[in-house]
Amino acid sequence: MLDRRALDRIRVVLVGAWLVLAAGSVLGLALEHLLGRDFVLGLVPFLDPDQEASLGTWVAALLHASCALAAAGNALVSRRRRDGWHRNWWLLCAVFAYISLDEVATIHDRFSVPLRTVAGLSGPLHYAWLLPFTAAGLVFLVVQARFLLTLGRTGRDLALCGAAFVLGAAGLETVSGSVASAGGRRTLAYDVLTTVEELVEFASVMAALVVLLSHLLRVLGRDPEPDPAARGT
């Protein structure tokens, strides 16, 4: 049952998980770049958050799936309360569910080579998937803007989490793209950049999960009558 005590425990688990991921990433960097061991029975790639089939990939997929479930819970409560915003919650749920799938299937990476080849992109846009996905993100923000505003503190906190995620996923990706474009993949600089990028993303999604669960906890304890300030579109 979701209550304040359970939410506090979830916070502790998430902070602990982030620290484990950070420590594992640093250990992997040290083994590969300081000791020259780039495998160690598969431990180094397993600890590299930028690698497929790694601990980081599993955690990221799990976190986004958890956010999708939390958003779905809010959607169900929103529909029950008839506040008019359940479709926006379902859209948020769908986005988190897609990103969870993308973490495992790496769908976004499939766009980079074709776009880079056709448009002749390099440098910061070496990872050309940034273009269509950033555009999609802007459309999503426009569509959800009014919804986020009606959520008050929850909307503000979700926007901050989203901004932090974009900083990691897009902002730092342009920097690592420049390094990769210059032939610097698998260097210490590149691996540090991608590690920081992934850790920022982990932190932002963990924070978003807490925000979503906190909101769900609040609305579950409120009167189910529609909120006059939240009218459907």
Residues 24-42 have pLDDT tens digits of 999 999 999 988 888 888 8
Q: How confident is the model at residue 156 (pLDDT cuts 50, 70, 90)?
A: very high
Predicted pLDDT at 223: 32
Position 224 pLDDT exceeds 70: no
Position 208 pLDDT exceeds 80: yes
H or E stretch at 134 = helix 130-150
Q: Are 84 and 226 in contact (CB under 8 A)?
A: yes
User: Two tokens at 77?
Assistant: 């409560």
Q: 45-81 burial string, b = 16+ CB within 10 Å, else e? A: bbbbbbbeebbbbebbbebbbbbbbbbbbbbebbeeb
Q: Are 127 and 172 in contact (CB under 8 A)?
A: no
Predicted pLDDT at 228: 42
Predicted pLDDT at 198: 93
Domain ranges of the chain: 63-220
Enter the DSSP assignment of 83: -
Closest CA to 174 of 101, 222, 122: 122
pLDDT tens, residue by residue, 92-133: 999 999 999 999 998 988 888 898 888 888 888 888 989 999
Enter the DSSP assignment of 123: G
Q: Distance of alpha carbon 92 from its chain centroid, rounded?
A: 12
Predicted pLDDT at 187: 86
pLDDT tens, residue by residue, 188-207: 889 999 999 999 999 999 99
For residues 58-74, give the mean pLDDT.
Answer: 97
Closest CA to 56 of 195, 189, 180, 174: 195
pTM greater than the 0.85 cutoff: yes
pLDDT tens, residue by residue, 84-96: 999 999 999 999 9
For residues 216-228, give the mean pLDDT.
Answer: 63
Q: CA 123 to CA 126: how far, in whole Å? A: 5
Terminus-to-terminus CA distance in the chain, angstroms?
A: 32
